[in-house]
Structures are given as structure tokens and as C-alpha cells.
Amino acid sequence: MLVDSHCHLDHWREEEIPEVVARARAVGVGTLVTIGTRLSQAETVKRIASTHPEVWCTVGIHPHNAGEAPIPTVEELLCLADHPRVVGIGEAGLDYHYDRAPRAVAAEVFRVQIRAAQRSGLALVIHARDADDDIAAILEDEHARGGPFRFVLHCFSSGRRLAEVGISLGGMVSFSGILTFKRSDALRAIARDLPVDRLLVETDAPYLAPEPFRGKRCEPAMVRHTAATLAELRGMTPDALAELTTANAERLFRGLRVPALLG
């Protein structure tokens, strides 16, 4: 069974979600992590995860939304994350492509979420777009200040240096449908070279559908196409890649369990 390590099930109507989950499981995607982007949405993602045994969730603040509300305290985040279906903090990070929040505010919100991950032991899910140097600097600074923490550079499309910094600090790197795009040769080279025990796959559904579905609404079921591309790059069979990335996801997301592996 594959794990879709990053999707947004709250973008579907509630009555649609059982069908989305069923279509994923029918093609071997047995576990999904639905991601929080606003603290006001935390109860929604927790309810989705509590309703569907295949689904887990995170709570946090996307960099696009960092300026919408007062900066939370670490304690407020920890309170929201204290739930049996919550396996991560975020989606946190920086996005200088759209710059929808003041950069200083976004950086502070990012640091608060890192500290919540350090305190809780939950994985931090990181969004990085056009901000590689600042993200690397903040990760290194917070690691030195507060010690190691679990994290993943999600939907990775950044440069090699950020991937290497992430790996050096103990993080993982997750690849989405972008890996399958025709002009993603540089990204495929990075995916080919990273340590196998740090690789994850995801959809970021409903965004970024992989080839051959590019331009259509993405679903968690489509993660198998990204996984097939990654398997080919690594010289692995699809089954071996699924086993590897599932084990990596279970190691990253404390508490997450894939039903097919429980025996």
C-alpha cells in the first residue's frame, strides 16, 4: 500500500470524501494525510481524519495565511494538535512567489510551528517556494536553538541545496506530480540522488495532477503515477518503492499506521 503523504481532503464536499478515499484504496493507496492550512480549519481536518480510518491529519498555518490572524503561541498549537488522528504540524513555511503575507510575519509563524514540532515530537510539514535560502537558514537556526525535529519538505520543487540541508538536518523530501512533468529533469536528478530512507510521495490533491492527468483535478489515487516515476528513477520495482516510502511515512509521522502492514 502507498501513502499519499500530503493532500487536502477539505477541498472536497464532505459527501464526496468517502468516494475519493475508496478510489485511492482501490488502486493501492491505503493511507492519506490531509493537511491543515489555517487554525480555524483544524476541527474540520480532525473530523475528516476521525471519520475515515484511512485518513490522518495535520494542523497548522500555510504561509499564504500567516497574516490572517494573530500569531499563535506554541501552546495554542500544541492544544490543537493534541488529538489521536493528528500526526503533524503545518503546512508551515515560506512562499516568496505569491508573498501573500508579510515576510517577517510569515517567518515568525514558521518558527512558532517549528517549536511546536520540537515540543510535541510531531512531524513538521514544510512548504517552500522561491525562499530556499531563508528556509534553510531558519531550519538550521531552529535546529541549533532547540534541537532536532521531524520534518518533510513537501511537494519538493526547490534547488538541490535546500534538499541537502534538509537531509543533513534529518528531514525527508516528498515528491508530487511535478516529478512527472516533462520539464522536471533537474528535479528528477535530485530525486534520483537522495538517500532512499528520506523519500516520500504525495499528490497535494486537488492540485498538481501527475502525467497523464496534468491539468485535471488531482486525487490521492494519482499518487501511484508519481510513485511509478520515482521507482523508475531509483531502479526499483513499484512494489519495492511502495514498501520503502510507506515505511518512511510511518517513521516520519508518529502514530500513523498503514492498515495493510499491521498483519
Q: Which tens digits make up the pLDDT trace of 115-172?
A: 999 999 999 999 999 999 999 999 999 999 999 999 999 999 999 999 999 999 999 9
- pLDDT above 90 covers a percentage of the chain that reads 96
The predicted model gives 21-45 an average pLDDT of 97
pLDDT at 262: 38
Residue appearing with cell numbers 480532525 = 46
**How far separated are the first and last CA of the chain, in Å rounded?**
13
In the chain, where the domains are located: 2-257
pLDDT at 186: 98
- pLDDT above 70 covers a percentage of the chain that reads 98
Task: Report CA dihedral (50, 26, 262, 34) to the nearest 10 degrees.
Answer: -30
How far apart, in whole angstroms, are the C-alpha atoms of residue 1 and residue 19?
18
**DSSP labels for 211-263?**
TTSTTSPP-GGGHHHHHHHHHHHHT--HHHHHHHHHHHHHHHSTT---GGG--
Instruction: Find, among 200, 207, 139, 150, the residue nearest to 178 by Cα.
Output: 207
- Provide the 3-class DSSP secondary structure of residue 95: strand
Contact 129, 119 (CB under 8 A): no
- Provide the 3-class DSSP secondary structure of residue 4: strand
pLDDT at 108: 98
Cell numbers representing residue 115 in the block: 517549536
The predicted model gives 9-15 an average pLDDT of 97
Q: Cα 116 vs. chain centroid, distance in angstroms?
A: 16
Cell numbers representing residue 88 in the block: 503533524
How far apart, in whole angstroms, are the C-alpha atoms of residue 227 and residue 249?
14
| Torsion 7-10-13-16 (CA) sign | positive
How far apart, in whole angstroms, are the C-alpha atoms of residue 153 and residue 60?
15
pLDDT at 195: 98
The predicted model gives 167-181 an average pLDDT of 98
The predicted model gives 47-73 an average pLDDT of 97
The pTM is what? 0.96
The predicted model gives 200-225 an average pLDDT of 97
pLDDT at 255: 86
Per-residue pLDDT band at 58 (split at 50, 70, 90): very high
Cis, bond preceding 212 (omega within 30 deg of 0): yes
pLDDT exceeds 90 at position 72: yes
Q: What is the mean pLDDT of the chain?
A: 96
Per-residue pLDDT band at 263 (split at 50, 70, 90): very low
Per-residue pLDDT band at 260 (split at 50, 70, 90): low
| Topology annotation, domain 2-257 | TIM Barrel (3.20.20)
Q: Which tens digits make up the pLDDT trace of 216-259?
A: 999 999 999 999 999 999 999 999 999 999 999 999 998 898 87
Instruction: Find, among 135, 70, 56, 145, the residue nearest to 101 by Cα.
Output: 70
pLDDT at 127: 98
